[in-house]
Amino acid sequence: GDSVTQMEGPVTLSEEAFLTINCTYTATGYPSLFWYVQYPGEGLQLLLKATKADDKGSNKGFEATYRKETTSFHLEKGSVQVSDSAVYFCALSAKGYQKVTFGTGTKLQVIP
């Protein structure tokens, strides 16, 4: 079945550092790929998405590129802020099928 693998956290970075959170997936066909963010005590918010190969999703300085050849969707940000501290979930959804498969989540802590 479909699965998503994320790098384990927590990831601790200093403010303005470069962020990469790795995500790889296994799925049949061409799923849609997502990054969701969860701030402490809150639900999930969609951060960005990509629906086909080579698409780049971007939002709030974060970006991720749908790489079919490596089945990856790594999240990057050039300069993190303390307010980016949260748990980030990589996820996929098969086309035409609304059920979402989540990775285990990666906690990011940004220190001043």
Residues 67-96 that bind another protein (CB under 8 A): 89, 93, 95-96
99 binds another protein (CB under 8 A): yes
User: CB 74 → another protein: shortest distance, Å?
Assistant: 18
Say how far apart CA 84 and CA 40 lie, in whole Å: 11
Which member of 32, 50, 75, 77 binds another protein (CB under 8 A)? 32
46 binds another protein (CB under 8 A): yes
45 binds another protein (CB under 8 A): yes
Q: Is 107 within 8 Å of 10 (Cβ atoms)?
A: yes
Torsion-angle region of 98 (φ positive above 0: left; ψ -120 to 50: alpha; else: beta): alpha
User: CB 22 → another protein: shortest distance, Å?
Assistant: 16
Could you tell me which of 32, 16, 48, 40 has the C-alpha nearest to residue 93?
32
By CB under 8 A, name the binding residues for another protein: 32, 34, 36, 41-46, 49, 51, 89, 93, 95-100, 102-105, 107
